[in-house]
Structure 1
Amino acid sequence: MQLNSTLTWLVDAAGASPGADRFLAEVGAHLIADNLPLAGGALTLAVPHPIIARRTWLWRAENGEVIEAVGFAPADAAQKDSAGDAGWRWLAGLADGMVHEDVVGPGSDGPVLSWIGPRQFTETEIARLREVARFAAAPLAALSARATLIATLEAYLGRRSAARVMAGPLRRDVGETIRAALLYADLRSFTALSETSPPAAVIAALDAWFDCIAGAVHAFGGEVLKFIGDGMLAIFPVTGENLGDACNAALRAVTSAQAGMAHLDGIRREQGLPSLAFGAALHLGEILWGNVGAADRLDFTAIGPAVNLVSRLEGLCRPLGRTVLISGAVARETTAKLIPLGTHPLRGIAAPCDVYTVPDGQSAT
């Protein structure tokens, strides 16, 4: 039995695979072409991610379908077994044969290639699968390095921004003007909390706050662009000409965050901890989305009058006694019921701003 098709592909083309799912499907198809009896397979990679400890892709030979299963951090043995069992249950019923598994590369924590056959693999077939694992080491190392880079950038920048950074050169003059609904949110009385609480309690409060507000942003298709002390700037980019979709998504996100913070405050009160009041503002406008900074130290961010306005608008939450304030630009594009609060000047902004809030808005404290 020869592996001409599989080994040739691994040497010449596998390194260009766009992702682990395609790599697994391609190597499986080539193994079948080289007369290896396969019903399915799996590829597991460890990833540097704040939540996910490992990612496993599972491939079915009968239709070429690939799905993904994840194991969440902390990566204890029970979780690993649970994730693996869930994945193999998807392949269950394909065959009554055995599973062959190889750790690819040196050490015990490298990528794992697993194969399931319609019958017991012969010794010759096992030797061929081990040879495939040896030839797969180089392309999988490249694939793992690329996945590590992408996961790291997404953790620090967000998915859209990470993709933009990956696609562009590392220069200060790289950026684009986009339209987006902006959400700026900020904790109230954070300085006092920092002065009166142990550092660990302050970090725990910040993490809980950011989990709530960022989770709401991500749930409705937005992206956290920047954490600024105890504040956060998020964007909901406009796609096409429909401005209302981005505005409605931002409104749903901030409403969800209000509900989440109310629940969190209930838990904190039960623990004898102070509530975490916050203010949030929404605006719609154009932003320059790209690289700024020093010649050799860049930041990927958004700047422009719209960013200035949304941050100044959030500053009105306390004087107006509201948790959420919404600019006239957003109000004009949404069908949501809003309460007008009049026109107000904003510090550093030339024109006054029409200001709205959501019904039953909570009082800022």
Structure 2
Amino acid sequence: MPEKEASASAVLIDGVADWLMSQALGEADLHDIVGGCCDRLLAAGIPLWRGFVTFRILHPKFASVAIVWRRDERTGTVERIETLHGEAFTSEDWRQSPINHMLSTQIPFLRRRLRGEEAFLDFPVCEELREQGASDYVAWMVAFARDNEPGPHQDGIIGSWSTDRPSGFSDSEIRTLVRIQRRLAVSLKVQIKQQITHTVLATYLGKDAGRQVLDGQIRRGDGEMLHAVIWYSDLRDSTRLADSLSAEDFLETVNSYFECTAGAVLANGGEVLRFIGDAVLAIFPIRDGDPRSACEGAMAAARDAEARLQALNQERAGKRLEALDYGLGLHIGDVMFGNIGVPERLEFSVIGPAANEVARIESLTKTLGRRTLASAEFARCAPRDWESTGAHALRGVGTAVEVMALKT
């Protein structure tokens, strides 16, 4: 390559490296970092046909993520592939992959020519890529810590570059890719750690509470007064179930019940605040002063929960397991939404009379024989075919509260 042309390419590659560092300093999407890096490498003259990265994540559903870029005319398309726990690192494709080989042997670099006299197709993926048009395959690995235990649970990034140029990558291009891939790994590491932080906080606190903590509300007493629809549901006969089932079977049963109730809350715009034993405390915030939207969200969640429970009980009947049931209380009120506890151990939750009242309303579902009960305040904001069950004295509440039930 002429010196002037080589210098121009070096400037463009410097631009890719600088761009990757800027992504590490901001809040960028992993998908956009990989796609943007590959697009820029292609624009700088690297004959990239496919780019691939994969990494482990800390997530309640997924074990790992892979991001695949493929050239499409002048730029590329990006695909994100998430692998569930239990499916990662167990398939035959995984066992026969270059990635598994590199992790097992701790080889940080692997190259396979896919065409010509030097072709070496010792992994199934090499055959697959050649059939799709690739001519050269370069895999790489960057570990995040030197004391990582070798194997699939190692913390780091594994990736690969492929080209469809008949002659493959040149030595100069591979040197460029090696330089860029370390900066790509740095940028991805920063964003992966940020994503893990958001995921952990959202998983254990809820999305809104997690966001408030990240925004700085971390001191005891930090919070806000919130007008909200409050949901409280409780599994029926849980003590008897706990006594009659093994710990593993009871845990599975409770989680199935949470899928019905808490899952319905989340699917309909609510936020789960706490799991209190086998009870669910959740809210549907009223942010614009009009409670109707929040009430309708709670009613939609209640219908969804009943449908989920019916499907679950049909499944349990097929296994000759007894049906599950729950009680649900719905209420509207003002609550303090914030940090409670001691400075060394805080919990982001709701406190206030309304939170106590909704739990007392739910407790009446057992004595009144109704699955769902609501306060009169809630019923007025969610018009349905309600009927009054009368005014009830609730423990810890000074005046009797009118409690409503849907007509059956």
TM-score higher than 0.5: yes
Q: Does the aligned pair in 2 maintain the 1:5–1:31 contact within 8 Å?
A: no
Deviation at 1:316, TM superposition (A): 0.9
1:147-226 equivalent positions in 2, closer than 5 A = 147-226=195-274
Q: What is the CA deviation profile of residues 127-149 of structure 1, one whole-angstrom value per residue up to 9, with x for unaligned ones? A: 32222112233332222222222
Structure 1 residues 41 and 322 mapped into 2: Cα distance closer, same or farther (>3 Å)? Answer: same
Compared CA separation, residues 359 and 41, structure 1 to 2 (3 A): farther
Pair 1:18 & 2:28 matched: yes
The answer to which of 53-62 and 226-235 deviates more is: 53-62
Distance 1:283 1:65 in 2: 48
Post-superposition shift, 1:39? 5.6
Please say if 1:102 is aligned against 2:140: yes
Q: Taking structure 1 as reference, are residues 155 and 192 closer, same or farther at Cα in structure 2, changes over 3 Å only? A: same
Q: Give the RMSD, CA atoms, in angstroms.
A: 2.9
Pairing of 1:155-304 with structure 2 (within 5 A):
155-304=203-352
**In structure 2, C-alpha distance between the alignment counterparts of 1:230 and 1:241, rounded to whole Å:** 32
CA separation in 1, counterparts of 2:193 and 2:85?
A: 20
Counterparts in 2 of 1:231 and 1:56: CA distance versus 1, 3 Å: same
Structure 2 CA distance for partners of 1:235 and 1:45, relative to 1, 3 Å: farther
Contact 1:174 1:291 in 2 (8 A): yes
CA drift of 1:65 comes to 6.4
CA distances 1:284-311 after superposition (whole Å, capped 9, x unpaired): 2222211111121111111122211111
Q: Are the aligned partners of 2:24 and 2:187 in contact in 1 as well (CA < 8 Å)? A: yes
Offset, 1:200 = 2.0
Counterpart of 2:80, as a letter, is E
Structure 1 residue 96: Cα displacement = 4.2
Which residue is 2:84 aligned to?
A: 72
1:251-296 per-position Cα deviation (integer Å, ceiling 9, x unaligned): 1112221222233233334434333221111112222211111121
Q: Which amino acid aligns with 1:102?
A: W
* Count of residues in Structure 1 that have an aligned counterpart in Structure 2: 350
**Residue number among 122, 136, 158 corresponding to 1:112 in the alignment:** 158
CA distance in 2, matches of 1:265, 1:228: 23
Greater shift, 311-320 or 43-52, is seen at 43-52
State the Cα distance separating 1:67 from its structure 2 match. 5.1
Contact 1:103 1:113 in 2 (8 A): yes
CA 1:64 to 1:97, structure 2 compared with 1: closer, same or farther past 3 Å?
Answer: closer
Aligned to 1:122: 169
Query: Quick check: which has more Rg, 1 or 2?
Result: 2
**Structure 2 segments unaligned to the other structure (5+ residues):** 1-8, 98-128, 145-149
* CA–CA distance in structure 2, aligned partners of residues 38 and 243 of structure 1: 54
Aligned partner letter, 2:158: V
Q: Please list the CA deviations of residues 171-210 of structure 1 after superposition, one character each: whole Å capped at 9, or x if unmatched.
A: 1021112222211011122112222322222212112111
Query: Partner of 2:381 in structure 1?
Result: 333
**C-alpha spacing 1:175/1:40, structure 2 compared with 1 (3 Å):** farther
Q: Percent of aligned positions with the same letter in both sequences?
A: 31
Decide whether the 8 Å contact of 1:43 with 1:113 is kept in 2. Answer: yes
Counterpart residue identity of residue 19, structure 1: D
1:40 is displaced (CA, Å) by 5.9
Q: Which runs of 5+ in 1 are unaligned?
A: 85-91, 361-365
Does 2:357 correspond to 1:347?
no
The secondary structure found in structure 2 opposite 1:168 is coil
